[in-house]
Copies of this chain bind each other. A is one copy, B any other.
């Protein structure tokens, strides 16, 4: 069965505060790393899956992202899906 690689990036919606990101930004300034204007921390989920075709792979990753990876009240997500060549994965 074809294999796919997917990367799902989950980030807070723009209206949601990100205290960890803000703390990191001010720690950077204290360390002498200048010029950082915005900094927001999200999740990056890397996954490998088997599916009969690309459409079905995309459907599975969408379902996973909506139900398990992101909290739709406060988070957005987006996906990159790449087929892995089947000769590399016999």
| A residues at B contact (CB < 8 Å) | 1, 3, 9-11, 21, 24, 27-28, 31, 33-51, 57, 60, 63-64, 67-69
A81 to chain B, nearest CB (A): 13
Identical copies in the complex: 2
With a cutoff of 8 Å between Cβ atoms, the chain B residues found around residue A11 in the complex are 44, 46
A52 to chain B, nearest CB (A): 9
**A39 engages B33 (CB within 8 Å):** no
- Interchain CA distance A43-B18 in the complex, whole Å: 14
- Interchain CA distance A15-B26 in the complex, whole Å: 32
Of chain B, the residue at the smallest CB distance from A57 is B35
- Interchain CA distance A28-B1 in the complex, whole Å: 19
